[in-house]
């Protein structure tokens, strides 16, 4: 179980293609994982996701812990059974959400309750953004919740410091993350001994902010834990693309080749290409689904907003020759109308297209790696793909 087999490594790049085996099936890497925050990838049914050939999706522990609670999901037979998703699943630890509550404006503004987060050595006390109730999560608790949820891949509980923290703070958060990783690992092993039939892979998370020496230290420590996968956290949180790519470059040489590397929260087409090139195997991000619900869509020439006046009478699909259900059936003109009217079908059709676009990009990336033409493909793609937002 949890075998990672590398199929091909590019000659002129750190990109590689592989297969990661989980209890619910194999995933082809490099892979993009659509985010199903509350046990649903917003607007899509599980059958839609299968048709899109999503091999693995992600659910958020923080949200499911608060509602409906892991006890309910456990009682219903676990997340897979409850949500009727029989393919691989990954849950995050809740760490990122717990901390982003106290930092992200758009998150706290949604809540009518004053959120607050208090961190100590043992764990984190925070207030629910739903009802203001107080909760305390420790590394052990985070692992227990994820054990109850029952995903194939579970994540260690980490402290994700804000992008503009001081170096001292990043170091402190990193050290705490390392201590917590050891405790997560211990709890994970304990639970595995109790119920050996429930096989879950625990991935550790590298922190260290925007400081190369901290990132190296963290990569070495996390890698030394010999877990089935290594993740990079705390990036794509406002530090800028250049620094993000630098941090990935800094970390990768210190991670075993033989284990998958997961860059958390990253998922624009350009970032996927740049980070596959730097040796990343797994990605997740709410960006493509969230932007779809705001009417933005990907094409090979860049991002566009469907509300633009120029699409009013446009009989073309979102993208010519795109094989997604949206593009095979509906015009830009009709989609523009649906998004303007805030019709639910519009939100779904835009989501189908964007998820298809990213999953298709990843399929293409895997093919190009195997043909040894990835670098050229990447350069050609980025030349055409302008990041404009019309």
Binding residues (CB under 8 A) for a second copy: these are 38-40, 42-47, 67-68, 72, 75-77, 82-84, 312-313, 315, 325, 329-331, 333-334, 337-338, 340-341, 343-349
Burial class (CB in 10 A: 0-12, 13-18, 19+), 8: middle
Q: Which helix (H) or strand (E) holds 36?
A: none
Least distance in angstroms from the C-beta of 45 to a second copy: 6
DSSP conformational letter for 78: -
Smallest gap, in angstroms, from Cβ of residue 119 to a second copy? Answer: 28
Nearer to a second copy, 44 or 173 (CB): 44
In the structure, how many helices (H) and strands (E) does the chain have?
16, 17
- 34 or 269: whose CB is closer to a second copy? 34
Least distance (Å) from a second copy to the CB of residue 63? 8
Neighbours of 213 (CB within 10 A): 11
Could you give the maximum distance between any two Cα atoms of the chain, in Å? Answer: 62
Residue whose CB is less far from a second copy, 57 or 202: 57
Active site residues: 92, 284
Of 107 and 334, CB closest to a second copy: 334
User: 138-142 contacts: CB < 8 A, separation 24 or more?
Assistant: 138/183, 139/180, 139/181, 139/183, 139/184, 139/187, 140/183, 140/184, 140/187, 142/61, 142/93, 142/94, 142/95, 142/184
Query: Which residue shows structure tokens 């207030």?
Result: 127
Residues 337, 366 contacting (CB under 8 angstroms): no
């Amino acid at each position: 179980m949890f075998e990672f087999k590398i199929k091909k490594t590019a000659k002129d790049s750190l990109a590689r293609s592989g297969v990661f085996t989980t209890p619910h099936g194999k995933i082809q890497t490099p892979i993009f994982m659509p985010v199903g925050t509350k046990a649903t990838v917003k607007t899509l049914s599980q059958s839609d996701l299968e048709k899109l050939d999503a091999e693995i999706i992600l659910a958020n522990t923080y949200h499911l812990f608060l509602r409906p609670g892991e006890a309910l999901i456990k009682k219903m037979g676990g997340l897979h059974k409850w949500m009727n998703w029989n393919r691989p699943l990954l849950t995050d630890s809740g760490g990122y959400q717990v901390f982003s509550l106290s930092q992200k404006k758009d998150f706290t503004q949604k809540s009518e309750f004053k959120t607050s987060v208090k961190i100590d050595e043992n764990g984190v006390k925070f207030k629910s953004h739903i009802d203001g109730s107080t909760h305390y999560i420790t590394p052990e608790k985070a692992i227990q919740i994820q054990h109850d949820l029952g995903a194939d891949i579970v994540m260690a509980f980490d402290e994700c410091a804000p992008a503009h923290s001081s170096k001292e703070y990043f170091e402190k958060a990193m050290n705490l993350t390392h201590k917590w990783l050891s405790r997560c690992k211990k709890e994970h092993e304990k639970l595995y001994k109790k119920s050996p039939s429930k096989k879950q892979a625990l991935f550790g998370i590298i922190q260290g902010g925007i400081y190369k020496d901290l990132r190296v230290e963290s990569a070495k420590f996390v890698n030394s834990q010999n877990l089935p996968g290594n993740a990079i956290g705390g990036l794509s949180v406002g530090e800028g693309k250049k620094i993000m790519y630098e941090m990935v470059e800094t970390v990768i040489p210190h991670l075993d080749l033989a284990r998958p590397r997961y860059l958390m929260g990253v998922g624009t087409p350009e970032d996927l290409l740049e980070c596959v090139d730097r040796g990343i195997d797994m990605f997740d991000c709410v960006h493509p689904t969230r932007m779809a619900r705001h009417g933005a869509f990907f094409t090979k020439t860049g991002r566009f907003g469907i509300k633009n006046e120029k699409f009013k009478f446009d009989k073309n699909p979102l993208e010519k020759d795109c094989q997604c259900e949206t593009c095979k059936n509906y015009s830009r003109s009709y989609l523009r109308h649906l998004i303007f009217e805030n019709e639910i079908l519009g939100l779904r059709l835009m989501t189908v297209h964007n998820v298809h676009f990213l999953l298709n990009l990843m399929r293409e990336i895997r093919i190009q790696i195997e043909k040894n033409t990835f670098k050229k493909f990447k350069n050609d793609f980025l030349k055409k793909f302008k990041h404009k937002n019309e």
